[in-house]
Structure 1
Amino acid sequence: MDAVLLSATSASPIRAVLAVLSGALAGALLLLAAPVAYATGDGLVRQEVAFRGGGGLVLHGTVLSKAGAPGPGPGIVLVGGSGAGPREEYRQEAEAFAQAGITTLAYDKRTVGYSRLQPDFGLLADDALAGVRLLQSRSGVNPRQVGLWGFSEGGWVAPLAASRSADVGFVVTIGGSGYDPLRTQAWNLTTHLRHQGAGGPFRRTVAGPTAQFLGATGLFPAAGYDPVPVLKQLHRTPVLALWGEHDTQVPPQESARIFRETLARADNRHAVIRFVAGGAHNGHRTTDGFDRIGGPLFHGKKLGELAPGYAQTTTSWVRAVAAGHPPASSATPAPGQALVTTPIPGHAWYAWLAPALLLLGFATYPVSALLRRGPILRPVRWLAGLGLLAVVTAVACPLAVFVAGDSAAAPVVWGRPAVWLVAQGFAVAVVVSACVSTAALWRRRPTPSWAAWLRLAPVGMAAVGFVPWAVWWGVTA
C-alpha cells in the first residue's frame, strides 16, 4: 500500500509539469503559426493569411492595409481572371487600393477543382465569399463594407458570389463579359486574328461553324454560362463596371450595354459604367490593347502600369459606397469596337454531324478495298483519300486556334493561315477528283451489283455533300 501511494503521489507533480510544458509548447507553436503583420516603406501593412475556401480547401493570401488608417473602413477581395492566377499578378491593384484606405485581400487562386478545361464558377464564388468573411472578421474593417473586385473571368465570378450572399457590400468588375464564355472567346480570337493579318473569311469560320462545333460537342468548358440571370439578381448591390478603352479580349461596347440594360431592368439604381482611357483588358496602360506599357513582369511578359485614372476611379467609388452615398446609375459613352460578336446557336447538332458523315462516307471506300468488295477505281481512291484529308484539315485548323490561341494560325499568307491554304487546296482537289471519278465511272460503266453500290454510293454522297459543307465551313472563301 505504501509503495502504491508513493507512486501515485509522486506522479501527480510530474503530470502537472508535463501538462504545463505541453501547453506552453502548443502556445508557442500557435504563436509561430499565427499570421505576422509587417510594415514596409510604402506605408502599407501586409499580413500573410490562410483561410478555407469552397470544399474546405486551404487558400493562401495577403491582406494589405494602410498603416495608421483611422477607424474601421471598407475592404475588398480581389477575384482574378482565368488560369493559375497567383496573387502577384494583382499586386499593383492591391497596393493602390490599400493606399487609398481600402483593406485588400489578394489570394492565390485554387488549383484543386479548377482548371481552364474544368472551370467551376460556383466553386470560385465560394472562395471569394470565404475571403469576404475573412476581411469581415478583421478589427480594422467594417463588416458591412466588404466588397468584391473581379477581373475578366472574375467578372463572372464576383457577381455570382454577390448574388449568393448579402454579405457582399459592392461589386467592381474590370474587363467582365456580358456574354457566355464561348461567344466571348470566339470574339477574342477573331480580334487577335485580325491584328495578326488573318482575313474575314477565316475569322468567320472560327467565330461561326467552329464555335458551333465546340458548343454542340461540349468540348468548350462552361460554354453556355449566361451572366445575365446573375446580374438581374444584383438589384440592391452597388456595381462599378469598368472596361479598358482598348479591351481586345472581351467586347467592351456590347458588354457595357448588357451590364447597363440588365442592371437597369433589375432596378439597380447604383450601377456605374465607365471606360478606362488608355487601358487594356486589365485596365493597365497600352497603346492598342495588344501591348503593355511598363509595370512588372509576369511569366516573362509585361503587365503594364495601372492606366491613369483607373485606381482613382475605383477607390473614390468604393469610398463613396462605404460612406453611405453610392453614386447613382450612370454610363459614359462606349469607345468604338472594331468587330461585333457572332451569336452561337445553342443546339447546333449539324455542326458536328455533317463532318462526321463526310468522314464516314469517304472512309467507306478504303475500308471496302481492304475487304475486296466491289470494283476498285484509282480516281475514286484519290477522291476518298483527298476527301478525308480535306475534312480533317479544315476542321483541325480553326480548332487549333481555340486550343492554342491565335499563334496556331501563324504564319499568315495572303490573309489566311498557311495550314488553311493547305485545307483549301485539298478542297479544290476533292472537287476535281469528284469530276474525274464521275467521268471514269461513265466510261467504265461497271456492272450494277450490291457490292458496287455499297462501295461507291457512300463516297459519292460524301463528295456531293462536301461542296455545300465546304461553302458553309468557309473552306472555299
Structure 2
Amino acid sequence: MLTVTGVLAAGAAYAEPAHQDLLTEDVTFQNQGLTLHGTVYLPPATGNDTLRRPGIVLVHGSGPGPRAKYVPEAEAFARAGIVTLIYDKRTQGYSLTQHDFAQLADDALAGLQTLRARADVDPSKVGMWGFSEGGWVVPMAAAESPDVAFVVTIGGSGRSPVRQESWSLDNILRHQGISGSLLDAVAVPGAQFMTDSGLLPQAGHDPVAVLRRVHQPVLALWGEHDMQVPAAESAQVFQQALAANPYTTIGFVPGAGHNGHRTSNGFDKAGGLMVDGHPLGALDPGYADVITAWIHQVAAGNPPLSRITTPLPHQEALSRASDDGCWYDTTAVRTAVLVLLVLGLLAYPLTTPRRRADRARSQTRSVRRWARWLTGLGLGTVIGTLAYMVWIFSQVGPNETAFVAGRTLPWLLLQILTLLVVLTTLATALHWWRARILVTGRLRLRLTLLLCAAAVFIPWALSWRLLLP
C-alpha cells in the first residue's frame, strides 16, 4: 500500500497553481430517458486555448444527492487543472427502499461521456471519483466501460451494503452510549430482516467480484477516523481484490472522517460548507493534493507502481456477517418461522365463534382472558421489534440514546413485553390445565394453535436477543 504522503511526494510536480478564479458551466445529460443536471468546473485559464485537460466525474454517496455537497472537491480539482463535473443525483428510481447500483453507474457513465465530448478535455484521460456508495458504483462503471480512464474512491466499502450498514450502526449506537443485546440484534437478525424484506436495496452486493474486473489505475482512500465504513478492513479487501491490477494505490487521510473532510473523532465535522443545514467539514488541502497529484501522474502515462506497506488505521471491531450459512439461518427458514409465528398468534382471535355456544363459558373465562392477553402481547412484540429495526436502519441510529443500563427506551419496552409474553404463556397453559375438562372442541383447537405459536415465540425472541441483557 502507498501512504498518502508518498502519493503526494511522487506526484506533486504535476500540480498546478490554485490562486486563480474558476469558471463554471451548467450542463444537462441523458440516461435512459432521464435528464440529469450538473455543473462543470473549469480550471483557470492558461492562455493556451488548445490545451486539452484531464477530466473527472464526481459520483455521490448514499441518500439525496444535490451537487452542492461536492463543490469543495470540484473547486479543488479544477484549481489543480482537472475539468470536473458534479451533478444532481437522480430521484426517479432512487429512494431509501429502491435503488440500483448499475443504474447509478450508467448515470455516471453518461456524465463521463459529457466530459469526453468537450473540446477542452482529453477524452482518453477522463475518470471517476466515488464517495461512500460511489465506492460501489464507480468500480461498476469502470468494469463496464474502458472509457473510464481511472478510478478514485473515498470511503468505499469492501463489504456488502448490509454488512457495512450494520457495522456503521454499531459504531453510532455505541457512540450514543448504547450497549448489550440491541447491538447484537441490529448486527444479526436486524440485518437479516432488512435483507429478507427487501427494505435494504442491493444488500448483498459483492464489491469484490466487481473490483476484480477493474483494470484501470485505482486510488482508494479512507479517512483515518471513518466510522461509517470499516476502513482498515476495506483496504485489505481492496488490496486483495485488486491484486492483479498493477496500478493500485491505497492510502489513508490523517484527521479525516468518512468523506475525507476534517473531524476529531469520525462523528463530528469541523468547519466547511453547510448543505441542507449540515456541515460538510473542512476539506483538507493535503487530501485534494493527493488526489490531483495522482491523477496528473496517471494522465501523464506514469501511474504509480510502488507498494509501500503502512500500518492500517485502528479499527475498533471487525464487521460481522449477518448469517453463518447454516440451513436454519436461510431466508426461507427465517421467513417460514415468522409467518408461522404470526399466523399462530392470529389464529386465536380470528377463529372466535360468532355465537358463544360454550356452555361452560363462565368456567373457561379465565383461560380465554389469558389467551387474549397472550395474543395481543405476542403480536405487539413481534410487530414492534420488526418496526423498531426498520426505524433504526432507516434513521441510521443518531436519534437513539441510552435510557437505562445501555438500553434505549423502545428496546427496554420490547424486552419487558417479551417477558410478559413468557409469563402469559405460562399463565394460559396453567389455566387451561385447571379447566381442561371444560376446554373442548373449538376452544381446545384454538388454544393449541396459540400455545404452539407461543412455543415458537421463545426461540424467536432468543434469536432476536430480546431475552438477553
TM class by smaller structure: 0.7 to 0.9
Which residue pairs with 2:340 in the alignment? 357
* Distance change in 2, residues 1:241/1:456 (3 Å): same
Aligned counterpart for 1:333 among listed residues 301, 306, 311: 311
1:323 CA displacement: 1.1
* Distance change in 2, residues 1:407/1:286 (3 Å): closer
2:123 is the alignment partner of 1:133: no
Q: Which has the larger radius of gyration?
A: 1
Q: Which residues in structure 2 correspond to 1:232-271 (within 5 Å)?
A: 232-235=212-215, 237-264=216-243, 267-271=244-248
Q: Which residues in structure 2 correspond to 1:292-441 (within 5 Å)?
A: 292-328=269-305, 330=307, 332-345=310-323, 347-371=330-354, 372=356, 376=365, 377=367, 378-410=369-401, 412-441=403-432
Q: TM-score, normalised by structure 1?
A: 0.86
Q: Which residues in structure 2 correspond to 1:13-28 (within 5 Å)?
A: none
1:441 CA displacement: 2.0
- Count, aligned residues: 434
**C-alpha distance in 2, partners of 1:333/1:351?**
41
1:379 CA displacement: 2.3
**C-alpha distance in 2, partners of 1:349/1:287?**
44
Partner deviation per Cα, 1:110-136 (whole Å, 9 max, x = no partner): 222323322122222122112222222
1:430 CA displacement: 1.4
2:84 is the alignment partner of 1:104: yes
**C-alpha distance in 2, partners of 1:165/1:105?**
18
Structure 2 SS opposite 1:44: coil
* Distance change in 2, residues 1:387/1:58 (3 Å): closer
1:335 CA displacement: 0.8
Structure 1 SS opposite 2:242: helix
Structure 1 SS opposite 2:103: helix
Which residue pairs with 1:283 in the alignment? 260
**C-alpha distance in 2, partners of 1:103/1:211?**
40
Whichever structure has more helix as a proportion of its residues is 1
Structure 2 SS opposite 1:130: helix
* Distance change in 2, residues 1:429/1:276 (3 Å): same
Question: Please, which moves more after superposition, 455-464 or 68-77?
Answer: 68-77
**C-alpha distance in 1, partners of 2:88/2:380?**
45
**C-alpha distance in 2, partners of 1:412/1:453?**
42
CA RMSD in angstroms, aligned pairs only? 2.0
Counterpart residue type for residue 283 of structure 2: L
2:198 is the alignment partner of 1:198: no
1:447 CA displacement: 4.2
2:124 is the alignment partner of 1:144: yes
Are 1:52 and 1:58, in contact at CA under 8 Å, matched by a contact in 2?
Answer: yes
* Distance change in 2, residues 1:175/1:140 (3 Å): same
1:395 CA displacement: 2.4
Higher RCO (Cα < 8 Å, 6 or more apart): 2
**C-alpha distance in 1, partners of 2:403/2:290?**
40
* Distance change in 2, residues 1:44/1:113 (3 Å): farther
Which residue pairs with 1:223 in the alignment? 203
1:207 CA displacement: 1.2
Partner deviation per Cα, 1:225-264 (whole Å, 9 max, x = no partner): 22222111113x0000011111111111221111110000
Q: TM-score, normalised by structure 2?
A: 0.88
* Distance change in 2, residues 1:397/1:57 (3 Å): closer
Which residue pairs with 1:34 in the alignment? none
Partner deviation per Cα, 1:168-217 (whole Å, 9 max, x = no partner): 11000001111222222111112111111111310110110011112122
**C-alpha distance in 1, partners of 2:332/2:320?**
18
1:220 CA displacement: 1.8
Partner deviation per Cα, 1:14-41 (whole Å, 9 max, x = no partner): xxxxxxxxxxxxxxxxxxxxxxxxxxx9
Which residue pairs with 2:68 in the alignment? 88
Are 1:75 and 1:142, in contact at CA under 8 Å, matched by a contact in 2?
Answer: yes
Counterpart residue type for residue 189 of structure 1: L
Are 2:74 and 2:84, in contact at CA under 8 Å, matched by a contact in 1?
Answer: yes
**C-alpha distance in 1, partners of 2:88/2:393?**
26
